Amino acid sequence: MNSDLSMDLRRALAALPVRQRATLVLRHWEDLPVHEVARLLRCTEGTVKSQSAKALTALRTMIGTDQLLEGYQ
């Protein structure tokens, strides 16, 4: 991942609502299972799934899918 994309990703993560950011970080960066994230955040598994989906959609909108894909080539 190039440094520009990395900075864009950090800015986009910081712009997310706290719960979406926490869910995304725990789920995808820490690689915790849904039930563990739900336990840690004291919410339902459905909430973890929906907040993760909303966060990923927001990141794609803020950063752009094309730019994300280019960062992995």
Query: Side-chain half-sphere of 57: how many Cα atoms within 13 Å?
Result: 6
Going residue by residue through the chain (73 aa), what tens digit of pLDDT does each one get? Answer: 567 777 888 899 999 999 999 999 999 999 999 999 999 999 999 999 999 999 999 998 988 865 554 544 4
Tokens of 42: 């004291």
> Under CATH, what is the fold of the domain 3-70?
Arc Repressor Mutant, subunit A (1.10.10)
Domain spans, the chain: 3-70
Contact 44, 38 (CB under 8 A): yes
